[in-house]
């Protein structure tokens, strides 16, 4: 028998963590994994915008989506130690994101100043993902003040925001879209 999508259990403003503990829907833990989920949803749109010549980047974004699901499950579980494993996430995942950042950055001109979000639709989506990744990182840091959180999760989220920044620039530069620099006198 198929289960119903709606359970009615959250009608009074609470939700269940992995393991069954009920918490308020605005609990810091729910905010953390909810923001990771929000980032993942935006990545679904970003993947659709990746040009055919950026299949390596597209594949990495899909992989990141899976990693974010793992992170969300980890954050939705009350862990008792900072060194509790994060299923499906390891140091090689951080290294893989760093490697892609380095590969793309090699093709980019040096900065001339602060770059405004945009240039192309895909790059604008990257900028949205970058800012949500930063917010997710802040939410996880807030959670870490009250509960143990793996440093690996923080490193991965931090690298993702860097990845989306470089991906936005890479897309604009390689597809001849202008990078829009901040004009402080505008």
Beta bridge partners of 15: 23
**pLDDT tens for residues 126-172?**
999 999 999 999 999 999 999 999 999 999 999 999 999 999 999 99
Q: How far apart are CA 1 and CA 43, in angstroms?
A: 32
Classify residue 42 as exposed, middle or buried by CB count within 10 Å of its CB (0-12, 13-18, 19+).
middle
Tokens for 1, please give them. 């028998």
Terminal Cα distance for the chain, rounded:
61
**pLDDT tens for residues 25-82?**
778 999 999 999 999 999 999 999 999 899 999 999 999 999 999 999 999 998 767 7
Average pLDDT over residues 171-176: 95
Beta bridge partners of 115: 181
Tokens for 73, please give them. 């499950």
Please report where in the chains the tokens 């990182």 appear, as a residue.
Answer: 137
Tokens for 140, please give them. 């996880």
Q: Where are the domains of the chain?
A: 21-174
- Say which CATH topology domain 21-174 has: Hypothetical Protein Ta1238; Chain: A; (1.20.1200)
Q: How far apart are CA 120 and CA 104, in angstroms?
A: 17
- Rounded to two decimals, the pTM is 0.91
**pLDDT tens for residues 79-93?**
767 778 899 999 999
């Amino acid at each position: 028998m198929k289960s119903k999508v709606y359970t009615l259990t959250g009608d009074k403003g609470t939700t269940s963590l992995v393991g069954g503990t009920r918490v308020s829907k605005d609990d810091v833990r729910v905010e953390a994994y909810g923001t990771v989920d929000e980032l993942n949803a935006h990545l679904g749109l970003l993947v659709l915008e990746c040009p055919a010549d950026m299949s390596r980047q597209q594949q990495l974004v899909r992989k990141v989506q899976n990693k974010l699901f793992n992170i969300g499950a980890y954050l939705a579980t009350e862990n008792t130690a900072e060194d509790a494993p994060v299923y499906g996430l390891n140091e090689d995942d951080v290294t893989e994101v760093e490697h892609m950042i380095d590969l793309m950055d090699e093709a980019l001109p040096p900065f001339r100043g602060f770059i405004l979000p945009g240039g192309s639709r895909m790059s604008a989506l990257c900028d949205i993902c970058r800012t949500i990744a930063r917010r997710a990182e802040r939410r996880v840091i807030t959670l870490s003040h009250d509960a143990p959180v793996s440093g690996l999760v923080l490193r991965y989220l931090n690298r993702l925001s860097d990845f989306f920044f470089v991906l936005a620039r890479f897309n604009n530069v390689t597809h001849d879209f202008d990078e829009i620099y901040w004009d402080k006198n505008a």
